[in-house]
């Protein structure tokens, strides 16, 4: 499937030019932001790990082997891409054990930067945000248009699509999801099941968001919308008064879209009708997600880009620095700027 089918239209106009992303791992750097003070004691050893050319699951297996513990004893907050230079936290459950020797896990691809004990394990989604440093190389773009576009997305944000990484190579994860939905079944393997359920939910969300981008309503509140703050999973209905809340203009408050699960969309009016229209056209995916035991959740439609700055280390290189909430994709920021002549592919879902 094409990018436009899996995601949707861009919001700020055609690309300002072309560039290459991920020519090297150093061109795509991610730092996990974790606002949890570590206590210095407890049965969980937390590790701040730098990895290059290694995805999160492979890093977890390396740590498990080196520590002599089962893979289930390793926890992490989010999945990070293979083709990148990333720094993220892992925790090892070591009840009654001293700190293990972990040098066997280290090498060119993995380095342990920090260690600390804590009483609790690291939970999925526990990180507050991800900080990014991206280098777009072989840049061929209209510099004036690019500067204008950068200023615009800094002020207005971008549509909060799930990135192509979520869907696998050529949308393969979504293809699997459709196959199992037609059969009314789920794969036995936990990781595979999680991957295709996530792809199906993400695709449906993207379809709703694509309709709102096309209509020009992705960044405004409508009566019947469900609103949420940037870093909150709770939401509340929008009436006439809420649609004029100044926090919407400040990019603190946003309209949301559905992450399908049990029950109908809790949105109201025309918003609910539009969301149910997407569900009706989805060949059984919403019912399949509900049968899998997922509950209906919401995700913000607009992605604010915190601390965006940029410069040109070389005439044909654009470096971007910014922070995104956990679970959001840096690649959807890039697609509002340039078309990628060559992009790195991911083989596992990741949260950027």
Q: Does residue 135 register a pLDDT over 60?
A: yes
Q: Does residue 211 surpass a pLDDT of 60? A: yes
Active site residues: 81
- The first and second tokens of residue 137, run together, are 């190389």
pLDDT at 179 (0 to 100): 96
- Please check the confidence at residue 235 and state whether its pLDDT lies above 50: yes
| 110 and 171 belong to one structural domain | no
Provide the whole-model pTM: 0.91
Q: Which residues are 140's β-sheet partners?
A: 18
CB burial readout 232-263, b (16+ within 10 A) else e: eeebeebeeebbeeeebeebebbbbbbbbbee
Tens digit of pLDDT for each residue in 59-117?
999 999 999 999 999 999 988 888 899 999 999 999 999 999 999 999 999 999 999 99
Check whether 344 has a pLDDT greater than 50. Answer: no
pLDDT in tens, 239-256: 999 999 999 999 999 999
Q: Judging by DSSP bridges, how do beta strands 253-259 and 297-300 pair with one another?
A: antiparallel
Query: 47 and 163 share a domain?
Result: no
Tell me which residue range forms the domain holding 210. Answer: 158-303
Task: Check residue 309 and give its pLDDT.
Answer: 98
Predicted confidence (pLDDT) per residue in 29-57, tens digit: 999 998 899 999 999 999 999 999 999 99
Task: Give CA–CA dist 100/321, Å, rounded.
Answer: 36
Considering the domain boundaries, does residue 61 fall inside one? yes
When the pLDDT of each residue in the chain is averaged and rounded to a whole number, the result is: 94
Which CATH number do you get for residue 225? Answer: 3.30.2340.10
Mean pLDDT within 191-204: 95
Residue 276: pLDDT above 50?
Answer: yes
**Are residues 79 and 176 both part of a single domain?**
no
Residue 338 inside a domain? The answer is no
Q: Which residues contact 121 (CB under 8 A, 6 or more apart)?
A: 44, 75, 91, 93
pLDDT of residue 283: 84
Percent of the chain residues topping a pLDDT of 70: 97
Q: Mark out the alpha helices in 71-189 (DSSP H runs).
A: 143-156, 172-183
The pLDDT value recorded for residue 352 is 58
How many domains does the chain divide into? 2
> Is the CB of residue 287 less than 8 Å from the CB of residue 272?
no
Residues 198 and 277 in one domain: yes
What are the tokens at 159? Answer: 């549509």
3-class secondary structure, 259 = strand
Q: Which two tokens stand for residue 54?
A: 């290694």
Q: Span 148-165, mean pLDDT?
A: 97
pLDDT band per the 50, 70, 90 thresholds, residue 265: confident
In a domain, 8, yes or no: no
Same domain, 105 and 174: no
C-beta contacts of 12-16 below 8 A and 24+ residues apart: 12/149, 12/152, 12/153, 12/156, 12/158, 12/336, 13/149, 15/335, 15/337, 15/338, 15/339, 16/141, 16/142, 16/145, 16/146, 16/149, 16/337, 16/338
- Structure tokens given for 68: 């002599």
Residue 96 sits in the same domain as residue 228: no
Determine the 3-state secondary structure of 11 from DSSP.
coil
pLDDT attached to residue 56:
94
Quick one: pLDDT at residue 342?
A: 54
State the pLDDT at residue 341: 81
- Alpha carbon distances (Å) from 229 to 77, 173, 250, 299: 21, 30, 11, 10
Residue pair 164/334 in contact (Cβ under 8 Å)? The answer is no
Q: What is the CA radius of gyration of the chain?
A: 21
Residue 347 clears pLDDT 50, i.e. is over it: no
Asked whether residue 196 is assigned to any structural domain, the reply reads yes
């Amino acid at each position: 499937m094409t990018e436009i089918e899996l995601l949707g239209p861009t919001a700020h106009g055609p690309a300002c030019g072309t560039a290459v992303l991920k020519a090297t791992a150093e061109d795509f750097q991610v730092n996990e932001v974790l606002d949890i003070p570590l206590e210095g004691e407890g049965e969980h050893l937390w590790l701040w790990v730098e990895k290059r050319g290694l995805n999160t699951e492979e890093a977890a297996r390396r740590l498990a082997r080196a520590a002599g513990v089962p893979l289930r004893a390793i926890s992490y907050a989010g999945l990070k891409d293979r083709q990148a230079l990333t720094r993220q936290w892992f925790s090892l459950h070591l009840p009654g054990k001293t700190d293990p020797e972990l040098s066997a896990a280290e090498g060119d691809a993995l380095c342990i930067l920090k260690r600390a004990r804590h009483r609790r394990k690291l939970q999925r989604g526990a990180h507050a945000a991800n900080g990014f440093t991206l280098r777009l190389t072989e840049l061929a773009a209209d510099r004036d248009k690019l500067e204008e576009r950068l200023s615009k997305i800094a002020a207005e944000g971008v549509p909060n699509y799930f990135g192509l990484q979520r869907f696998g190579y050529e949308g393969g994860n979504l293809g699997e999801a459709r196959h199992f939905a037609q059969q009314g079944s789920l794969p036995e393997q936990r990781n595979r099941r999680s991957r295709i359920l996530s792809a199906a939910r993400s695709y449906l969300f993207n379809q709703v968001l694509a309709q709102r981008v096309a209509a020009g309503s992705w960044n405004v509140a409508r009566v019947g919308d469900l609103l949420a703050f940037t870093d909150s999973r709770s939401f509340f209905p929008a009436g006439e008064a809420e649609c004029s809340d100044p926090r919407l203009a400040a990019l603190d408050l946003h309209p949301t879209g559905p992450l399908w699960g049990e029950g109908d969309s809790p949105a109201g009016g025309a918003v609910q009708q539009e969301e149910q229209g997407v569900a009706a056209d989805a060949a059984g995916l919403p019912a399949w997600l509900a049968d899998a035991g997922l509950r209906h959740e919401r995700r913000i439609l607009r992605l604010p880009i915190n601390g965006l700055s940029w410069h040109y280390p070389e005439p044909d290189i654009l470096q971007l620095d910014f922070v995104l909430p956990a679970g959001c994709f840096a690649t959807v920021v890039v697609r509002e700027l340039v078309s990628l002549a060559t992009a790195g592919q991911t083989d596992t879902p990741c949260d950027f």
